[in-house]
Structure 1
Amino acid sequence: MRFNIFKNTVLLFVMVLNSCAYKTKNNITETTAILAKAEITTDNSIDKPIIVGANQTKAYLPLLKDKRVGVVANQTSVVFKKETYTHLVDSLLDLNVTVKKVFAPEHGFRGQADAGEVVKDGIDTKTGLPIVSLYGKNKKPSVAQLKDIDIIIFDIQDVGARFYTYISSLHYVMEACAEQNKTLIVLDRPNPNGHYIDGPILEKEHTSFVGMHPIPVVHGLTIGEYAQMINGEHWLKNKVTCMLEVITIKNYNRQMTYDLPIKPSPNLPNAQAINLYPSLCFFEGTNVSAGRGTDLQFQVYGSPFLPQTSYSFTPKSNAGAKYPKHENKICHGYNLSGNKPLSKLNLSYLINAYNSTNDKGAFFIKNGFFTKLAGTKKLQEQIEAGWSEDKIKATWTSGLNDFMTKRKPYLLYN
């Protein structure tokens, strides 16, 4: 049975105290479009709505009483309400919470910056709050930046892929909180790729901001579960532990199909892109475009160096990609936008592209970014050696089994 997040997540909870009226409303046309996109699919045995952590104000408001609060947030950090939604920061201010500043991850507080683009400090024009970038000069809140903060809220929608950098920002925020004796509250949200686990385990020597922990490419955890694993596995510097509170999702299990109501970053515009992202993001380390500079980002792939097919596209500079790969050049390739959703990491796209390119020596970009994305040198070596997808995946089995055992103590949902 399918039900709309507006009808089922929004209508059954108005988490604001009755004495507090929200002052800010979003454009009704934009709101209607966003809410119409958000659907949850579940089985007939479940008839209760999903309630995300941000909506459970009664659970976290007592923790904020008389506290100076910092918020790590972006455009996905919203509280759903009857007929509309409001940003978490606006909600907290309307509830008389003392919000001192906002910390912005990759893509910025409003989610408009390109992938990899430096996010600058600034002032939020709507609230007047200072915005501190976690994707610029520093990725970890400094002592000075947390001096006037007692407690931090982390509320960002993740997509469940190791190289999606919001979990790297989570790591550094947790580390700063642990070192400076601050409490972190994670407002949990569903993982749209939470229904499977797949990919090579990251090797320590290939640690980077697009892969910080020894986990597979698709880890199957919500961001709240992930925070617990960071703590429990002592992945923070000097094995410090963060004081952590996770506000869990109600009525959620990881087998539910969850379509995000707000795109989590500029180049993940819909459920199909989010589902294909773990498989197509490998192309970011090659000379093949994954559709940046089109309106089918992470739903197509192609290159001027691939043979002509029945499908082609030409990347153009746009709001999500100012300088896309192969800008203004015809890319021959494939359109996956109509394909059935994946429940595994699909290597066939990558293998087929490598095997059919007319310049194999230039396929993998020389800066080593592919290895950072894969978390190992082995994947590139296996593809270059002509290994099949099944043979490559067989080498992941032991690591995946170990990971699934290791993550069990941190699971919050079935």
Structure 2
Amino acid sequence: MTDTAAYFPRLRGRRVAVLANQTSVARMPGAVGAEGHPLTVDAAGRVHLVDLLHESGFDVEAIFSPEHGFRGTADAGEKVSGSVDARTGIPIRSLYDGRTLRPSDEAMRSFDVLVVDMQDVGLRFYTYYISMLRMMDACAAFNRAVIVLDRPNPNGDKVEGPLLDMRYRSGVGALPIPVLHGLTMGEIARMAVGEGWACACDLTVVPCRNYTHATEYRLPVAPSPNLPTQRAVYLYAALCPFEGTVVSLGRGTSKPFEIYGHPSMKGRSFSFTPRPTPGAKHPPLEGQLCRGEDLSRMPLEEARSVGFSLKYVIDACGDLAMGEDFFTPMFEKLIGVGWVREMILDGASDEEIRARWLPEAEAFRKLRAKYLLYE
């Protein structure tokens, strides 16, 4: 986003739309707008992409918003209506309004180039890349250019988990990629076009500078309401599968994706009660005392090393001894295959499950190599 020399020239004289949210910010000390005035900044001194473009004199016609809305405060999957950005007067067109997964023909004709800038976290079931791909397909159909302003992947180079069996394709999984895919948003866009997973469009990626996939990157802004900490971002791959079970992973508490539990778990000293909170208006097991595990004190480096592990799911499944009733159909949509549930119920260990998906993850790592922008 801050490398304006790389993309401002492509916006001049064209009608611009953006696909953005609360993460589309950066520090730009000393930067000024078209009138020579300092750019509008937030309380932390960061400039939002929309303000940057608007105050630099570009014709911004529309803001498209992904899951959680433009401000990043809506629940997971919650319907978000269109609105108007109070600061600039630019219309906000929600891609999660419950009526459409892509903009109307009228909306697509309102701009010439789409600028995409959102902070992803590097997992197949995190939905921002899906919104980007849908917009890329729409732009291909209407001959609109797409510019992706890339951001680091906080989960770095990790490529872990089974590839999505496309029978389980859904709103939380759109591509035949592992749970942890080791790609940035720009690299996902390149790979999706290159492998024919998305329609070929006029695509430009503005890469991050001074970045490699080994760079530790701590997010300056929470990417969504229930990933408020860096630890939650690291543990997300291991705890999100609980969304496909009867177990709470802490939605409705101050530690989402850092704790897990259920009212019937036994021999646990830690407990919590999910309550309505911003970003979790009606959390699973709301109002029920849950017993379980607290991972919120795990050192960050340890949390970063967990990756895609099913050890916590296996622990809870064994404790509750509910058999098939432990799982919901969402489990396969998140994991991406049908055989993981079967192996867990048969008593397999995390290491045994890992051994089964490891070859396809390594094959994907080789396939993705030609689309990488960073070492």
Task: Please indicate, yes or no, whether the TM-score normalized by the shorter chain is above 0.5.
Answer: yes
Q: 1:250 is aligned with what amino acid?
A: R
Q: 1:95 maps to what in 2?
A: 56
| Alignment equivalent of 2:269, drawn from 310, 320, 328 | 310
Distance 1:361 1:303 in 2: 16
State the secondary structure of the residue aligned to 2:27: strand
| Alignment equivalent of 1:108, drawn from 55, 59, 69 | 69
Distance 1:333 1:251 in 2: 41
Matching of residue 260 in structure 1 with residue 223 in structure 2:
no
Gaps of 5+ in 2: 30-43
Question: How far 1:347 sits from its partner (Å)?
Answer: 1.1
Contact preservation (8 Å) 2:242, 2:313: yes
Distance 1:393 1:403 in 2: 15
Q: 1:183 maps to what in 2?
A: 145
Contact preservation (8 Å) 1:79, 1:91: no
| Alignment equivalent of 2:314, drawn from 351, 362, 366 | 351
Distance 1:174 1:361 in 2: 39
Distance 1:282 1:155 in 2: 27
Distance 1:219 1:305 in 2: 34
State the secondary structure of the residue aligned to 2:61: strand
Distance 2:274 2:110 in 1: 45
Distance 1:318 1:201 in 2: 33
Distance 2:181 2:14 in 1: 34
Matching of residue 273 in structure 1 with residue 232 in structure 2:
yes
Bigger shift: residues 314-323 or 79-88: 79-88
Q: 1:319 maps to what in 2?
A: 278
Q: 2:14 maps to what in 1?
A: 67
Contact preservation (8 Å) 1:160, 1:220: yes
Matching of residue 148 in structure 1 with residue 110 in structure 2:
yes
Question: How far 1:170 sits from its partner (Å)?
Answer: 1.1
Q: Following superposition of structure 1 onto structure 2, how do residues 6-405 of structure 1 map, counting pairs within 5 Å?
A: 54-82=1-29, 84-136=45-97, 137-236=99-198, 240-339=199-298, 340-343=302-305, 344-365=307-328, 368-405=329-366
Q: 1:220 is aligned with what amino acid?
A: G
Instruction: State, as a whole percentage, how many aligned pairs show the same letter.
Output: 46
State the secondary structure of the residue aligned to 1:302: strand
Question: How far 1:79 sits from its partner (Å)?
Answer: 2.8
Distance 2:343 2:233 in 1: 26
Q: 2:41 maps to what in 1?
A: none
State the secondary structure of the residue aligned to 2:340: helix
Gaps of 5+ in 1: 1-53
TM-score normalised by L of structure 2: 0.93
Q: 1:34 maps to what in 2?
A: none
Runs of 4+ in 1 over 4 A off after TM superposition: none
* CA displacement, residues 156-193 of structure 1 (integer Å, 9 cap, x when unaligned): 00000100000110110110111111110000000001
State the secondary structure of the residue aligned to 1:186: strand
Q: 2:50 is aligned with what amino acid?
A: V
Bigger shift: residues 178-187 or 130-139: 130-139
Contact preservation (8 Å) 1:133, 1:139: no
Q: 1:296 is aligned with what amino acid?
A: K
State the secondary structure of the residue aligned to 2:159: coil
Question: How far 1:117 sits from its partner (Å)?
Answer: 0.5
State the secondary structure of the residue aligned to 1:341: helix
TM-score normalised by L of structure 1: 0.84
Contact preservation (8 Å) 1:194, 1:219: no
Question: How far 1:78 sits from its partner (Å)?
Answer: 1.0
* CA displacement, residues 91-138 of structure 1 (integer Å, 9 cap, x when unaligned): 101100100010000000000100111111111122111111111211
The number of equivalent residue pairs is 356
State the secondary structure of the residue aligned to 2:304: coil
Contact preservation (8 Å) 1:191, 1:221: yes
Distance 1:241 1:275 in 2: 33
* CA displacement, residues 195-239 of structure 1 (integer Å, 9 cap, x when unaligned): 311011101111111111100000010101110001100102xxx
Q: 2:313 is aligned with what amino acid?
A: L
Distance 1:375 1:345 in 2: 13
Distance 2:86 2:359 in 1: 50
Question: How far 1:358 sits from its partner (Å)?
Answer: 4.4
State the secondary structure of the residue aligned to 1:84: coil
Distance 1:336 1:234 in 2: 40
Q: 2:33 maps to what in 1?
A: none
State the secondary structure of the residue aligned to 2:131: helix
Distance 1:178 1:195 in 2: 30
Distance 2:191 2:363 in 1: 14
Distance 1:217 1:283 in 2: 14
Contact preservation (8 Å) 1:305, 1:358: no
Q: 2:57 is aligned with what amino acid?
A: N
